[in-house]
Amino acid sequence: MEQFKKSDSISQAITDVIEEFYIKQDIKYNITVIQPVSSTYSEIIDKTFMKMNKSQLIFTHNKRIISNETIIYVNSATIFFLDETMQEIENFDFRKYISVITTNSINLKFLTYKVTCENLNSSNVLYDKNVTKEAFSMYSYFICQQNDETVDLLTHSWFEYNSCNKRKVITINRFDLKTKKWEKPLKNHQKFKNLNGCEIRIEEKSKYCNRYDSSGKLIAAYEPFWRMLAKYANFTLKMLNKNETDPHLIVYLKRNERLRPVTSVFTSLSLSLITTRSESYSDYEKLLLPFDLITWMLLLCTFGIAFFIIFIINQMNQNIREFVYGKGIKTPSLNVISTFFGYSQTKLPKTNFARFILINFVLFCFMVRTLYQGVIFDYMNSDMQKMQPQTIDEVFQRGYKILAHNTHSTIVLNNSVKKEWQKQIFRYAIRYEHLFEDICEILENDEPKIAILTNEHINMLLKFQCKKIPNKVKEIAFTVPLGYGMTLNHFLYESTVDIIQPMIEHGFLKHFYDSWLYWYLIKYVPDNSNNSKALSLNDLGFCFNILLIISLLAIIVFFVEMIKGKRKNNHSLMKKNHKNSIEKIKKRKSIFNILRSNSKLAKRKTKKLNSKKSVLIVKEYKGNVLNKTRNDSNNSKGNLKINQNFQQQKIQKSEKIEAISSKYEYSIQNEKIEILKLD
């Protein structure tokens, strides 16, 4: 393999290659050619930054510092030219300074590095001291001059030979320096043809929640997308938890929180939210915490049913009451209350059934009191914190105000938060010298707020020890367990566009973005309170409402039963009156018959007596007339008067009998009419 002899020819060759390649693609570029002879590292960096577009660079501390802390971001169009003459940076570790990012416009940046084509072809080891210098450039294009006439455009091809641990350098195209033309048509190289089911590890932490598409819009997704993509792209997904990554799949940086993989189209992250301490439970609310909502509802329903049964049994006869309550028990409701609070019974029932009910209820109340008293003592001596909000909607409904960086507020919140809540978002820019002091000052206000920060920000924020922020991150941090924001690598995106484009067209990615932060802002519960036992006064009001509904239903049922009972009583009374009236009629009929028969006999007797008396009177009258015609004339007149009086008395008696009989007949007829009406 020939070495490069003239740096000027190399620079000119590179310039010709770049111009020919990118002018035809109609892409704006910014070429920086470094003269390696008599150049130091600082001069190279200075010249590179002077010709680069500043908008495409991100510096630590948001400042343009030319020092060892400077980070050079290299995009997918970066081309490294290889030269042996760079002796001063032979042992330079680019892992601390280079990362892969995505930009809308491609800017070409050139760095010199001593790597020969022979070394590239022979490096099959994934990651050790011999290949650390090549790790940062494995997915970039390489230009290597084979001779004075041609320049080869090279790249790495991974997962070759059906092996997950081997790679090779392949020639994409060849440029003729004489004709200044490419041998093949200019096309983007297909990086991954078949991943052979290889295991690809994807790190979970990244600085920003970004995924740029060609229009510059941001989209996010989460783990189901990874699994779907792994199925179509034929690789095995492996998620990591401790900032671990495959060395041959990622460009390394000095700080772990800025790791960015380049093998996958997306990178994932987890955001952390810092919120002010939630309110403490009051002493009255702590009385409700030992049991959850369902338990309180069951207890209230139990006592409601008990009182309802007592109310119904009180409406029954005395035998049933004595069978259920026992003899001499007049206040069963007070017995229920005294049993629940542990008071002794003044009078015990004598029947076995009543004793069985009492013993079961005493055991039930004993268990409830023991469980309640065993927990309430600890709750009263501890500072109980209320549960944090669970969703974005709940955050804004409770009056929280979001403190977010401009990137997070524009990327995430503006697309997932309703318009009426946009005023509650406070945006800030990155000013490291004053950022955390400002955050502490804002969080120490009385109003509830949430700050969206990365893990790096949290660690620095805790050093200031804000008054209202605990020292432990786990007590203040919300995490998004299934929410993964993704940063797109354009070069790999183009390689897998056939797989991803149908998902984008069907709104698959947009669906994930709209939902991941909106629904998965979960889930922090203070250590000293259990989610299943967190019950407030408002929740218990629901139980009282249920008890009120049950009591109203009981009252309605009682009134319905009373109305039905009155109707039954009236009907039974009518039947009794009907029977009594019939019996009275029968009695009156018998009396009437007796009187009637007596009246007939009396008439017969009176007739006989009258006939006999009249005969005697006539005989006596004739004898007296013959013998005493003159002397007894006065006596005859007296006898006539006697007869007249006797006849008058007889007539009066008959009239009285007829009047009595007519009265009985009239009353009988009236009673018959009334009976007919009742029937």
pLDDT value of residue 561: 67
Q: pLDDT per residue over 287-326, tens digit each?
A: 888 887 888 888 888 888 888 888 888 888 877 777 777 7
> Domain of 450: which CATH number?
3.40.190
Name the E strands within 204-295: 220-221, 235-239, 250-251, 260-261, 272-275
Answer yes or no: is 556 within a domain.
Answer: no
Amino acid (1-letter code) at residue 14: I
Among the listed ranges 118-132, 136-150, 621-635, which one has the minimum average pLDDT value?
Answer: 118-132
What contacts 443, CB < 8 A, 6 or more positions away?
A: 274, 276, 403, 449, 451, 466, 468, 469
Residue 34 pLDDT greater than 70, yes or no: no
Domain endpoint, select from 156, 174, 189: 189
Q: Specify the pLDDT at position 551.
A: 64
Same domain? 499 vs 461: no
Binned at pLDDT 50, 70 and 90, residue 243 comes out as: very low
> Can you give the pLDDT at residue 173?
72
Q: In whole angstroms, what is the distance from residue 40 CA to residue 34 CA?
A: 11
CB 518 within 8 A of CB 242: no
Q: Distance of CA 218 to CAs 74, 103, 263, 442, Å?
A: 20, 12, 20, 29
**Average pLDDT of the residues in 156-169:** 60
Summarize the confidence of residues 325-350 as an average pLDDT: 77
The closest alpha carbon to 211, from 265, 292, 157, 291, belongs to 265
Q: Is a pLDDT exceeding 60 seen at residue 631?
A: no
Shared domain check, 120 and 22: yes
DSSP letter (8 states) at residue 566:
H
CB atoms within 10 A of CB 352: 8
Indicate the residue among 174, 189, 204 that finishes a domain.
Answer: 189
Q: Which pLDDT tens digit goes with each residue over 389-438?
A: 555 566 666 666 665 555 544 444 444 455 666 566 555 554 444 555 55
Q: Give the pLDDT band (50/70/90) at residue 189.
A: low
Q: Do 58 and 154 lie in a common domain?
A: yes
167-176, 226-235, 343-352, 457-466: lowest mean pLDDT where? 457-466
User: Which pairs from 303-306 meet CB under 8 Å and 24+ separation?
Assistant: 303/336, 303/340, 304/547, 304/550, 304/551, 305/550, 306/336
Which pLDDT value is given to residue 300?
83
pLDDT for residue 187: 54
Answer for the pair 83, 7: CB distance below 8 angstroms, yes or no. Answer: yes
Number of domains into which the chain is organized: 5
The pLDDT score that the predictor gives to residue 379 is 83
25 plus 168 within the same structural domain: yes
Q: What is the pLDDT of residue 401?
A: 61
Q: Do 35 and 182 belong together in one domain?
A: yes
**In a shared domain, residues 503 and 640:** no
Give pLDDT, residue 376.
Answer: 84
Question: Considering the domain boundaries, does residue 558 fall inside one?
Answer: no
Give yes or no: residues 39 and 170 share one domain. yes
Q: pLDDT band for position 351 (50/70/90)?
A: confident
% residues pLDDT > 90 (the chain): 0
Three-class HEC string of 10-55: HHHHHHHHHHHHHHHCCCCCCCCCCCCCCCCHHHHHHHHHHHCCHH
| Domain contains 147 | yes
Does the pLDDT value for residue 336 go beyond 60? yes
Q: Which of 380, 410, 428 is the last residue of a domain?
A: 380
- Residue 449 is predicted with a pLDDT of 54
More confident residue, 435 or 512: 435
Whether 455 and 514 share a structural domain: no
Q: Give the pLDDT mean for 35-48.
A: 40
Note whether residue 533 is domain-resident. no
Answer yes or no: is 553 within a domain.
Answer: no
Q: How confident is the model at residue 606 (pLDDT cuts 50, 70, 90)?
A: low
- Domain co-membership, 212 together with 235: yes
Least confident of 541-545, 548-552, 648-652: 541-545
When the pLDDT of each residue in the chain is averaged and rounded to a whole number, the result is 54
- Give me the mean pLDDT over the 536-555 stretch: 62
Residues 491-513 have a mean pLDDT of 44
pLDDT at 587 > cutoff 60 = yes
153: in domain = yes
Q: What is the reported pLDDT for 286?
A: 83
Residue 561 vs residue 111, higher pLDDT: 561
Residue 401 in tokens: 């105000």
Highest-scoring range by mean pLDDT, 252-261, 448-457, 473-482: 448-457
CA angle 634, 637, 641 (to 5 degrees): 140
Considering the domain architecture, whether residues 223 and 238 belong to the same structural domain is answered as yes
Mean pLDDT of 515-533: 35
Residues 482/222, Cβ–Cβ less than 8 Å: yes
Mean pLDDT of 525-535: 42
The answer to whether residues 634 and 489 belong to one domain is: no
Residue 223: CA count within 13 A, CB half-sphere: 13
Under the banding of pLDDT at 50, 70 and 90, the label for residue 496 is: very low
Task: Give the residue numbers spanning the domain of 339.
Answer: 283-380
Question: Is residue 537 included in any domain, yes or no?
Answer: no
Phi, psi of 202 (to 5 degrees): -120, 120
Output 331 or 59, whichever has higher pLDDT: 331
Same domain for 223 and 323? no
The three-state DSSP-derived secondary structure of 516-558 is HHHHCCCCCCCCCCCHHHCCCHHHHHHHHHHHHHHHHHHHHHH
Note the pLDDT tens digit of each residue in 48-97.
Answer: 444 433 322 222 222 222 223 333 333 333 333 333 333 333 333 333 33
The answer to whether 582 touches 675, Cβ cutoff 8 Å, is: yes
Q: Is 40 domain-assigned? A: yes
Q: Where on the phi/psi map is residue 358: left (φ > 0), alpha (ψ -120 to 50), or beta?
A: alpha
